[in-house]
Amino acid sequence: MEAINFLQEILKISLVASIACISYYYYKYFTRENPLPGPFPLPFIGNIHQIFKNHSFDIGKLQDKYGDLCEFYAGSKRFILLCNNDLIQKITKPAVNGPFHNRINGVDEGLKEIGLLDAGLVFNNDYDNWQYHRKFFTKVMMSPQFIKQSVIVVQDIFLGMEKHWDKFEENTVFEFNHWMTRYFFDTIFITTTNKSAHALTNYYTELTPNEKSSLPESILKESNTFVEFVDSFVYSVFYFFLVPRIIRNFPGISRNTQYIKDRVSWLRNNLDNTIKSRREEIFKTPIDQKLTSDMLTMFLTVNTERDVTERIADNHHDEPMPDKEIQENFIEVLSAGIDTGSNSMCFLVDFLENNPKVKLRMIEEIERVLGKDPNSSFTLEDLSKLEYVEAIIKEASRLRVIVPTIFKINSVPEVIGGYKWSKGTCFMMSIDKIQNHKSYWKDPEIFNPDRFMDDPESKNKVYMFGGSLRKCPGRNLAMMELKATLAMLYRKYDIELVGPLKDILEYLGNAMN
């Protein structure tokens, strides 16, 4: 009897607590600053049940229903959705330590759970620390010498991929997205570490199990796991940022949450091993022997006697870089360099195969600039002359946005959309909607690269590499890789799509990857 009474008291307390929490939730909602159109949120979960479906986030329908300036909730976290170019001009304006420099609140519990706060570039709210890390990326990835060297690397890796392709029968059907993921992984890994990841060799070995590989099975297995888990890391960022903790830890869902965390932990642990291995190599290298100037070596040697950064450090950073920060920078390089490149190539091929006139004109430009020998090498200067190829890349990125949303948070009160917003307001820029807005683009649904040939100002309305001072530091490398890969692919191969790229389109579409 006492047990029953105890349970009844617990239920009463739980009921009162629930009513109090729900009442407070809706009190905050109905007294919120600047009410905007948007779906009505549910207690604790907000609108997650409406925007998170099939393991992806779909916010496109919100703009269709509620307009260019609207709102939604992820748990108790309110987001102001901005869907036209005029609304984001102040946010994307380059400004040193400006009011929209930060992407997130510095105490976000979801990102903290997976160790993403105040390190690296993407979620670093400490401006001085962010600027310091940015120097490394700028020093390497924006350097003309680095890009020129990377042109050679890209050609070598593509040649290696071709050697695998040549072993298949002529009419073999390729899962192009899988090849591209490994191709870009090999490319970014060797350009940042000066080491091979063997991802393409591993994938070929999977497809031809009867052929014996010259590489140890352990290396092949690890490279494949790396590719999979980098993809999981990218997904985890949005999952832990937008999905409220109460949902992440809900029975049935908590297993998936732990699965994602385990993959992120595996990736971090193995990147640590890579870092330690490279540190040991540096230690064993004779002091009079010059070290390579790849990015990982820069991270490891800054402010040491083997420093290869040529004085990147400043008065505020005179100590060697901690392993945690090296790891975060390394993981950002990999995650940014693999998915974006491979998905972009898949979309490009899809657009070209469905627009034969554009494809023919592109091939004519490639042959005119690079020559008709499909095996001839080329330089960065050659690639810079492929203007129509670049227009195709920009138009594809306009229609199929690889990173369809960008988050920003204001550090001081600001006016956006005619409303004054308090410090700490979360803004979400819908790049997907902005780049397909009828107010800025004629026939936005049509694939037309000429819009970038005829109207030079169009380039200012495409956010392929983001905006403001946080613009992607690897943009020159990324554009070079896409131009080079398209050129090598289409000057030699006759491509035919067996079917639409459904898996990629469904995964991205309006999703936030």
Residue 152, CB half-sphere, CA atoms under 13 Å: how many? 6
**DSSP state for residue 386 in the 8-state scheme:** -
Distance CA 255, CA 303 (A): 43
Q: What residues are paired with 57 via a beta bridge?
A: 52
Residue 208, CB half-sphere, CA atoms under 13 Å: how many? 15
Distance CA 512, CA 99 (A): 24
Distance CA 86, CA 434 (A): 9
Three-state secondary-structure class, residue 439: coil
Q: Is 21 annotated as a binding residue?
A: no
Distance CA 170, CA 71 (A): 52
In order, the DSSP letters of 32-74 are -SS--S-PPPBTTTBTHHHHEETTEE--HHHHHHH-SEEEEEE
- For 418, residues 6+ apart whose C-beta sits below 8 A from its C-beta are none
Distance CA 98, CA 305 (A): 35
Q: Are strands 77-82 and 426-430 parallel, antiparallel or unpaired?
A: parallel
Question: Residue type for 388, please?
Answer: Y
Distance CA 171, CA 183 (A): 21
Structure tokens at 225: 């796991």
Distance CA 375, CA 347 (A): 25
Buried b (16+ CB within 10 A) or exposed e, 97-113: ebbbbbbbeeebebbeb
Distance CA 398, CA 463 (A): 8
H-state helical runs in 82-167: 89-92, 109-113, 127-141, 144-165
Binding residues: 472
Binding residues for heme: 472
